[in-house]
Amino acid sequence: MKSCPKSKMTLLPYGGFFDPDKIAGEIAEINKKIDDENLWNDADAARKLLQKKSNLEKSLNDLQSLESDYKNLSELYQIAPDDTDVAREIESLAARARSAKFITLFHGANDNCGAFLFIQAGAGGTEAMDWAQMLARMYTRWVERHGFSLDVVDEHAGDVAGIKSITLKIDGDKAYGWLKSEIGVHRLVRISPFNANGKRQTSFASVDVWPDVDDSIEIEINEKDLRIDTYRSSGAGGQHVNKTDSAVRITHIPTNTVVTCQNERSQFQNKDMAMKILRSRLYELELKKREAAEAENKAAQKKIEWGSQIRNYVLYPYQLVKDVRTNVEKTDSDAVLDGDLDDFMLAYLQQFN
């Protein structure tokens, strides 16, 4: 039997983002606010406060569990430092510790939610549509790396290759907390596979992300404000595709927010999913309005306009992926396009969260 490399037991790096006492202190401060009898005069603020407390309590429990396992393994290591099973447990604990270091970065009101991720090809025709499809694959591989689940809610194929747009529903622990760092424009530079002259081409695609809010969050939607259209699905395959008007498009007239769904089996299911996406988008719009009103300078840092990319993916004449917000770089572009995104995401969360 192949033995594991001998591990050395070291102290857990408490401090900063990895500080149980700090988290316990934040929970205590929230408890003081909860005791205020006027708290529920603002139901929305109260709900956010309770959600934050719940998130912090989960983080504290995770860290306390980590500390308990550390103490147990420390004792076992003193007794049997050459035991291969103990060595494996130590390596596993080290991996958990590396992940736990960033637990408290996910303290937003919706960070524990699932997410809807929307990718849209920018200007550039087939090139941009191919790039949008590459991004969809990149996020699919990232989802697989984290053990999350993914469903394609809506997809519009490109005229020649790639996709015009796609909406993905992603379920997993802190999916929105992770993916909110990806909102913005993504720029690709490469030799075009669609150009016979082999010229270098620049392509753009935008990514947007909304939290998959649950039914406990009330979003008031007036039926009179909605325009609901049905049409035939344009996706590939399936017994319902191009045979019935099962696809649904809902327009929220006051905000000009448009959502579509065509990948469910019936018009009713497509409408139900489209309404779920609409609720999430309207909720996110409201949050952005409040953030802007409360902290214009902070909102300005996060505001993304079309054409101002957040990340460059250069495949030629050299390989480099660089996030322009945090200056994090990776020269292994193949790994990044295969879903190796955590370093970019965590750097963003540390800087802007």
User: How many domains, in total, are found in the chain?
Assistant: 2
Judge if 220 and 349 occupy the same domain: yes
Domain that holds residue 171: 112-353
Per the structure block, which two tokens stand in for 343?
């370093």
Torsion sign, CA atoms 276, 281, 286, 288: positive
Burial class (CB in 10 A: 0-12, 13-18, 19+), 258: middle
Q: Is residue 13 assigned to a domain?
A: no
Q: Are residues 99 and 137 in the same domain?
A: no
Largest CA distance in the chain: 72
Residues 205 and 148 in one domain: yes
pLDDT at residue 11, rounded to an integer: 38
Question: Same structural domain for residues 130 and 96?
Answer: no
270 and 143 belong to one structural domain = yes
- Rounded Cα distance between 78 and 330, Å, is 40
- The parts of the chain modelled with pLDDT lower than 70 are 1-18, 98-99, 101, 104, 214-218, 234-244, 290-307, 353
Please spell the DSSP secondary structure of 115-171, one letter per residue: EEEEEEE-SSTHHHHHHHHHHHHHHHHHHHHHT-EEEEEEEEE-SSSSEEEEEEEEE
User: What is the average pLDDT score of the chain?
Assistant: 82
Verify that 232 and 92 share a domain, yes or no: no
Residue 272 CB-half CA count within 13 A: 7
What pLDDT shows up at residue 299? 38
Q: Is 16 left (phi over 0), alpha (psi -120 to 50) or beta?
A: left
- Confirm whether pTM is higher than 0.75: no
In a domain, 158, yes or no: yes
pLDDT for 290 equals 62
Last residue of a domain, one of 72, 105, 138: 105
d(CA 251, CA 122): 22
Whether residues 59 and 186 fall in one domain: no
In terms of DSSP bridges, do strands 309-314 and 184-191 run parallel, antiparallel, or are they unpaired?
parallel
Give the end of a domain, one of 105, 128, 161. 105
Residues 25 and 137 in one domain: no
Does residue 7 belong to any structural domain of this protein?
Answer: no
- Same domain for 264 and 331, yes or no, is yes
* Listed residue (143, 111, 134) closest to 186, CA to CA: 134
221 and 239 share one domain: yes
Q: Please, what is the angle between helix 43-79 and helix 20-34, to 10°?
A: 150
Last residue of a domain, one of 48, 70, 105: 105
- For residue 328, being part of any structural domain is answered with yes
